[in-house]
Structure 1
Amino acid sequence: MPSHQALLVIDYTNDFVADNGALTCGAPGQKIESRIFNLAEDMYQNGDWVWFPTDVHKAGDKYHPETKLFPTHNVRGTWGRELFGGVKDWFDSHDDNEQVKLFDKTRYSAFAGTDLDLRLRERKIDTLHLVGVCTDICVLHTAVDAYNLNYKLVIHEAGVASFNQASHKWALEHFKNCLGAEIVK
């Protein structure tokens, strides 16, 4: 029987996680690496989809709204946009399989301006497991859109992080109390 769930590994890149990343959450983001790696492998072995919606920008893009809010980050073709650490190694060893895919996103939500919903529905996926960074920005906006599209949500607490711990904790409560997400410790 085909799987009906997918893991979305959101924005787990050098710019968001490495110590010298352009917009890093640093140690909290690095701490979740093994959880993401292990969950990706478990779900892959189970026949589930493991997708990497990954932020991408152009240097000097004066029309993108984030330009006013954040320093330049995740520029296409740069080290900063590469997946971080062991997660990159895992992806590189699996990306020839259709179960594993990295795709571009240009807004906080993995659904905004992408064909993610169509791809999920083609595969009859109804449950999304979310991990990555930042809990209170891209993970949150993806979760809200998924909720509004009627997906069941599973948030892996040990697989999400942010540079703002108060907002991280708030987002976890919001997932549970406003989006009906299952929070896995």
Structure 2
Amino acid sequence: MRLLIVVDMQKDFVDGTLGTAEAQAIVPAVCEKIQKFDGAIIVTQDTHQANYLGTQEGSILPVTHCVQNTPGWELDAKVYAAVKSRGDAAIRSVMKPTFGSVELGEYLVDKGHDADIEEIVLVGLCTDICVISNALLIKAFLPEVKVTVDAACCAGVTPESHKNALRAMRMCQVNIENWEG
């Protein structure tokens, strides 16, 4: 079994309060990956509450974003359409209040008991925060499962931090595809 994890492809990270040109540029590649992927899909959503600025993260990054049930919290419209085109049976959604999702790791361990997971592929935003956090978390929960990050379907806060995250993941035995680095 193969799984595709689409990390935080939400409006606030694509073209909202924390959006970047690099994030907008990967949307077509992410949509194509979703549509052509042979396996189940898990979508994560960075999920904050109205008190975000009063949290530790909010004190370090004082930009309100991904507040649950706001337009910025929703998936990018094109990504949402690509996910919906796959049908509900193949999709699971995970809301995560922080960078890495323990719920995701626990779900994958449980899923691994039902079927052999041969590979988990991650795409999305931001390479240097949530993608790397979840890739390494998955390696900790499932050390013998091949974890792959598709660099062409990820973007970081900056192009340089994107590259640094890819290098760090490679050093931690995460397979990096579509990157010369």
Instruction: Pick the TM interval, shorter chain.
Output: 0.7 to 0.9
What is the CA deviation profile of residues 65-108 of structure 1, one whole-angstrom value per residue up to 9, with x for unaligned ones?
A: 211122111111111011113111112334522x1122211110
Name the residue aligned to 1:108. Answer: 99
**2:15 is the counterpart of 1:23:** no
- Listed as ranges, the matches of 1:92-107 within 5 Å are 92-97=84-89, 99-107=90-98
- Return the match for 1:49 from 34, 40, 50: 40
**2:146 is the counterpart of 1:155:** no
Name the residue aligned to 2:172. Answer: 179
- Listed as ranges, the matches of 1:1-185 within 5 Å are 4-18=1-15, 21-24=16-19, 26-43=20-37, 46=38, 48-61=39-52, 64-70=55-61, 71-97=63-89, 99-111=90-102, 115-121=106-112, 122-149=114-141, 150=143, 151-176=145-170, 178-185=171-178
Q: Secondary structure at 2:88's aligned position in 1?
A: coil
Cα pair 1:95 1:101 within 8 Å, conserved: no
Aligned equivalents of 2:17 and 2:13: distance in 1?
7
Cα 1:50–1:68 change in 2 (3 A) is same
Alignment TM-score, normalising by the size of structure 2: 0.87
Cα 1:105–1:180 change in 2 (3 A) is same
Structure 1 residue 124, shift from structure 2 partner: 3.0
Cα pair 2:43 2:93 within 8 Å, conserved: yes
Q: Secondary structure at 2:102's aligned position in 1?
A: coil
Structure 1 residue 57, shift from structure 2 partner: 0.7
Unaligned runs of at least 5 residues, structure 1: none
CA RMSD of aligned residues (A): 1.9
Structure 1 residue 119, shift from structure 2 partner: 4.4
Aligned equivalents of 2:118 and 2:55: distance in 1?
31
Cα pair 1:111 1:117 within 8 Å, conserved: no
Aligned equivalents of 2:60 and 2:87: distance in 1?
33
Cα pair 2:10 2:75 within 8 Å, conserved: yes
Aligned equivalents of 2:168 and 2:103: distance in 1?
20
Q: Whose helix proportion is higher, 1 or 2? A: 2
Select between 101-110 and 120-129 the one with higher mean Cα deviation: 120-129
Alignment TM-score, normalising by the size of structure 1: 0.85
Unaligned runs of at least 5 residues, structure 2: none
Structure 1 residue 40, shift from structure 2 partner: 0.9
Aligned equivalents of 2:85 and 2:36: distance in 1?
15
Structure 1 residue 133, shift from structure 2 partner: 0.5
Q: Secondary structure at 1:175's aligned position in 2?
A: helix
Cα pair 2:105 2:138 within 8 Å, conserved: no
Aligned equivalents of 1:9 and 1:113: distance in 2?
12
AA partner of residue 59 (structure 1) = A
Q: Secondary structure at 1:50's aligned position in 2?
A: strand
Structure 1 residue 113, shift from structure 2 partner: 7.6
